[in-house]
Chains A and B, each alone.
Chain A
Amino acid sequence: MTQLTPVLTKNWDLPNSFTLDGYGEYAAAKQALTMDPDAIIQMVKDSGLRGRGGAGFPTGMKWGFIPQNDGKPHYLVVNADESEPGTCKDIPLMLANPHALVEGVIITSYAIRANYAFIYVRGEVLHVIRRVQAAVREAYEKGYLGTNVFGSGYDLEVVVHSGAGAYICGEETALLDSLEGYRGQPRLKPPFPAVAGLYACPTVVNNVESIASVPSIVTNGADWFAGMGTEKSKGFGIFSLSGHVTRPGQYEAPLGITLRELIDMAGGIREGHELKFWTPGGSSTPIFTAEHLDVPLDFESVGAKGSMLGTRALQIFDETTCVVRAVLRWMEFYAHESCGKCTPCREGTYWLKQVLKRLDKGQGTEEDLATIIDVSDNILGRSFCALADGAVSPVYSSVKYFREEYLKHFEIGGCPFDRAASTVWGKA
C-alpha cells in the first residue's frame, strides 16, 4: 500500500509552524545562493517536478525558457489565486507554512535571475494574507530578503499582492494583466510569459505548491524527489479530499496513489453510503465514478482514463447526490466567472446554465440533452483560454456516465433526489 509522505505538511501540527521558529533557518536558500543559478535549474529539471497548479508543465523546463543576459528585468510571480472549485491545498499551506513558499521564492528568483517577485493571493482569504505578509516581513528582518540576501550580493524584493475576486485571474496571463492593474483577462499566447510576461519582461508564473516544493529538492537532491511518484509524475503532492468521506482533509502522498487508498485512509465514504462520482482535480476535470477507484493519480494515468490530475482536488459525492444539480452549480460558477472576452465562452456558459436549470427542474426534454452536448462542442477548443474547456468537462462526463439520471428528471418532472439526505446533518 502507498504510504503518505509529509514534506510540505510536516510541520503543520506545530502551533508556530508559520513563523521562522517553527520553520527553520532557510538552509536550502542559503545553500542555493552559493550555487550557479543554472545548476539549480538543472536540479529542478532532474527532479522531474511538474507544475502543481493544474497543467503539470515541467517546472525546471519553464525556468529554462527565461532568456539570459537579455538586459531586461526578470520576474517571478507566484500564483496563489486558488479558486478552482474543490481546490483547497495552497490556502492551508500558506496559512500553516508560508515560509516554505517564501524560501522557494528566493531560490526560484535567484535561479531565473529575478530581483523582484510577487505573490498574488486571492483576496478572499484574509488570514492567509496576514500569514504570508508576516512571513515576508520576518524574512526581510532576518536579511533573507531585500538587498544583499544572506550577504551573497544578491538582491530580492518580494511583494504580497491581494486579488479582488475573479477566478479567471488564476489563469496566468489574466493574472499578469490583473497585477499590472487591469481587468484580469487572458492574453494571447504566444508570446508566453517566459518571453513577455509582467511589464512585457521575462516572467515565470508558478503555483504556490510548485514553488514551496523547491527548498526540499535543494536540500535533499533531485534523486530523492524523483524517487517518489511514478515514472513521469514524480515526487509528492497534496491531495485534498472533500465531501462525503468520513475524514475529509489534506493528504500529502506520492503521485500515483489511488483514490481507493486515500478513501481508505480517510475512514471510507461516510457511513451507510457509497461512492457515486468524484473529481480528480477540481470541477474543470471530467468526473470519475467508482470504476476509477484504482486509477493511479498521476498525470498520465488520469489522462488515459479521460480526465486530468489537475490540482488533486478530490471532491467526493455519494449516492444521495444529484449529478445534474452538481453540474448546474458548476455551470453557474463558470457563467459567472467567464471574463466575457470571447463569445463561445461568454454566451455558451450562459446557455448551458439556462438549459441545465431546466433539466434540473425536470422541465427539460431529451432534446435538451443533445443541446447541452452541442453547445459544449461549440465551446470546447473554440474559446480563448482554458476556463471554457474546463466549463464543459462536467457536462460531457456527467452525460457520459449518468445519462439515465438526466432522463429520470424529465420522466418524473423533477429531481428524484432528497437534498436533505446529502447534507452533513442529513440522515439517510
Chain B
Amino acid sequence: MTYSPEVRERLETDAKEIIGRYPRPRSALLPLLHLVQSEDGYVSDDGQEFCAEMLGLSKAEVVGVATFYTMYKRKPSGEYNVGVCINSLCAIMGGDQIWDELTEHVGVGHDETTTDGKITLERLECNAACDFAPVMMVNWEFFDNQNPESAKQLVEDLRAGKEVAPTRGPGRLCTFKEASRVLAGFPDGLAGEGPAASGPSLQGLKIAKANGWEAPVSDR
C-alpha cells in the first residue's frame, strides 16, 4: 500500500515544516519517523520510503536508524501502548507483580497486541518517575503510583472506551498516533492541562515552606 495523493501531500507539507527547523535536513529524520507513526501507527515500509525520499537518503539508511530506537514500532501496534516500568526500583516496589498480573489478565506478552487492536503491552525501562513508583505509561503519559488492581482497571477502561486521564498530564488520553504527532513537533494544545507538579515533586518544597527554609538572599 502506498499513500494516497491526499495523504502524501499532507505528509509532505508536514515533513517540509519539520525539515525547515534544522540547519541540516538529516536532523529531521527522528521527527519524520515520529510523523510516520502518527499516520500509520508504526514505522511502515511506505513511511520509511517516504522519509528516505524527503531527505535524499537510501531506504537502508532510514531503516538502520529506525531499528536503533525502541519507540519506533516495527509492526502495527495497539491504539494504546501500555507500558510497565520493570527497572529495578519500580520492579521491586511492585512493578514485577503488576506486569505478571497484567499480562495474565490481558493475555498478551511484551510487544504484543490484543486481537481487538486496542492494547499493546510493553516492559519499560526507567521512565524518570521513580519517586512515583510503581510507574506505568500509556502512550507516553504518566500513570503514577500503580498497583495490580489499578493497572487491570486501567486496561479494562481503555478497552471499554471509557475516558481515562493520566496522573500528570492532560484531562484525556491521546491515541498513540496523536501522541506521535506531538513528538514530531506539532503541539496539540494540551500543554496547559494537568498539574504543574504534584505529590512527590512537591515534597521538598512543602517541607522547606513548613520550616521557613529558603535559599539565602543575595546581597545584590
Establish whether residues B191 and A12, one from each chain, have CB atoms under 8 Å apart when the complex forms. no
Contacts A249-B200, A420-B97 given; indicate if A88 touches B129 (C-beta within 8 A).
yes
5 extra interface residue pairs, beta carbon distance < 8 Å, beyond A161-B185, A164-B70: A4-B208, A90-B128, A126-B169, A159-B22, A180-B26
Decide if A365 is an interface residue (CB 8 Å cutoff): no
Residues of A contacting B185 in the complex (Cβ-Cβ under 8 angstroms): 133, 160-162
Cα distance A327–B211 when bound, in Å? Answer: 38
Establish whether residues A424 and B147, one from each chain, have CB atoms under 8 Å apart when the complex forms. yes
Q: How far is the CB of A115 from chain B (nearest CB, A)?
A: 10
Decide if B5 is an interface residue (CB 8 Å cutoff): no
Closest B residue by C-beta to A252: B204
Closest 8 CB pairs of A and B: A249-B203, A249-B200, A251-B204, A220-B218, A164-B69, A181-B29, A134-B191, A181-B26
**Interface 9-mer from B8-16, B30-38, B112-120, B155-163:** B30-38
Decide if B127 is an interface residue (CB 8 Å cutoff): yes
Decide if A49 is an interface residue (CB 8 Å cutoff): no
Decide if A124 is an interface residue (CB 8 Å cutoff): yes
Residues of B contacting A249 in the complex (Cβ-Cβ under 8 angstroms): 131, 199-204
Establish whether residues B64 and A183, one from each chain, have CB atoms under 8 Å apart when the complex forms. yes
A84 CB contact (under 8 Å) in B126, B139, B192, B208: B126
Residues of B contacting A242 in the complex (Cβ-Cβ under 8 angstroms): 89, 130-131, 133
Cα distance A339–B216 when bound, in Å? Answer: 44
Q: How far is the CB of A240 from chain B (nearest CB, A)?
A: 6
Decide if A57 is an interface residue (CB 8 Å cutoff): no
Residue in B124, B140, B213, B215 with the greatest tally of chain A CB atoms within 10 Å: B215
Residues of A contacting B68 in the complex (Cβ-Cβ under 8 angstroms): 166, 183-184, 339
Decide if A315 is an interface residue (CB 8 Å cutoff): yes
Cα distance A250–B208 when bound, in Å? Answer: 11
B88 CB contact (under 8 Å) in A18, A97, A248, A283: A283
Closest A residue by C-beta to B146: A424
Residue in B34, B97, B137 with the greatest tally of chain A CB atoms within 10 Å: B97
Decide if A82 is an interface residue (CB 8 Å cutoff): yes
Q: How far is the CB of B77 from chain A (nearest CB, A)?
A: 13
Decide if A142 is an interface residue (CB 8 Å cutoff): no
Q: How far is the CB of A214 from chain B (nearest CB, A)?
A: 15
Residues of A contacting B214 in the complex (Cβ-Cβ under 8 angstroms): 5-6
Cα distance A13–B22 when bound, in Å? Answer: 35
Cα distance A423–B72 when bound, in Å? Answer: 32
List 10 A-B pairs, Cβ < 8 Å. Answer: A123-B71, A125-B127, A166-B69, A181-B30, A183-B65, A221-B218, A221-B220, A250-B205, A251-B207, A315-B130
Cα distance A227–B69 when bound, in Å? Answer: 43
Question: A88-107 CB contact bits vs B (8 Å, 1 = yes)?
Answer: 10111001110000000000
Contacts A6-B205, A82-B128 given; indicate if A96 touches B194 (C-beta within 8 A).
no
Q: How far is the CB of B210 from chain A (nearest CB, A)?
A: 10
B183 CB contact (under 8 Å) in A91, A92, A126, A241: A126
Closest A residue by C-beta to B187: A133
Q: How far is the CB of B73 from chain A (nearest CB, A)?
A: 10
Residues of A contacting B94 in the complex (Cβ-Cβ under 8 angstroms): 422-426
Residues of A contacting B142 in the complex (Cβ-Cβ under 8 angstroms): 125, 127
A17 CB contact (under 8 Å) in B196, B199, B220: B196
A224 CB contact (under 8 Å) in B168, B203, B206, B216: B216
Cα distance A9–B209 when bound, in Å? Answer: 12
Cα distance A91–B197 when bound, in Å? Answer: 10
Residues of A contacting B26 in the complex (Cβ-Cβ under 8 angstroms): 180-182
Question: A239-272 CB contact bits vs B (8 Å, 1 = yes)?
Answer: 1111110011111110000000000011000000
Decide if A165 is an interface residue (CB 8 Å cutoff): yes
Contacts A127-B170, A248-B131, A424-B147 given; indicate if A243 touches B216 (C-beta within 8 A).
no
Establish whether residues A12 and B196, one from each chain, have CB atoms under 8 Å apart when the complex forms. yes
Contacts A15-B196, A95-B197 given; indicate if A125 touches B140 (C-beta within 8 A).
yes
Establish whether residues A333 and B87, one from each chain, have CB atoms under 8 Å apart when the complex forms. yes
Residues of B contacting A97 in the complex (Cβ-Cβ under 8 angstroms): 196
Residue in A86, A129, A242 with the greatest tally of chain B CB atoms within 10 Å: A242
Establish whether residues B216 and A164, one from each chain, have CB atoms under 8 Å apart when the complex forms. no
Contacts A12-B196, A133-B185 given; indicate if A5 touches B213 (C-beta within 8 A).
yes
Query: Which residues between 11 and 47 of chain B lie within 8 Å of chain A, taking CB atoms?
Result: 21-24, 26-31, 33-34
Q: How far is the CB of A158 from chain B (nearest CB, A)?
A: 10
Establish whether residues B188 and A130, one from each chain, have CB atoms under 8 Å apart when the complex forms. yes
Question: A198-221 CB contact bits vs B (8 Å, 1 = yes)?
Answer: 010000000000000000000111
Q: How far is the CB of A208 from chain B (nearest CB, A)?
A: 11
Establish whether residues A127 and B216, one from each chain, have CB atoms under 8 Å apart when the complex forms. no
Residues of A contacting B1 in the complex (Cβ-Cβ under 8 angstroms): none
Establish whether residues A131 and B216, one from each chain, have CB atoms under 8 Å apart when the complex forms. no
Residue in A12, A167, A244 with the greatest tally of chain B CB atoms within 10 Å: A12
Question: B146-175 CB contact bits vs A (8 Å, 1 = yes)?
Answer: 010000000000000000001011100010
Q: How far is the CB of B205 from chain A (nearest CB, A)?
A: 5
B207 CB contact (under 8 Å) in A4, A19, A423: A4
Question: A271-302 CB contact bits vs B (8 Å, 1 = yes)?
Answer: 00000000000010000000000000000000
Cα distance A134–B206 when bound, in Å? Answer: 27
Decide if B92 is an interface residue (CB 8 Å cutoff): yes
A125 CB contact (under 8 Å) in B28, B93, B128: B128
Question: A168-197 CB contact bits vs B (8 Å, 1 = yes)?
Answer: 000000000011111110000000000000
Q: How far is the CB of B63 from chain A (nearest CB, A)?
A: 11
Residues of B contacting A253 in the complex (Cβ-Cβ under 8 angstroms): 204
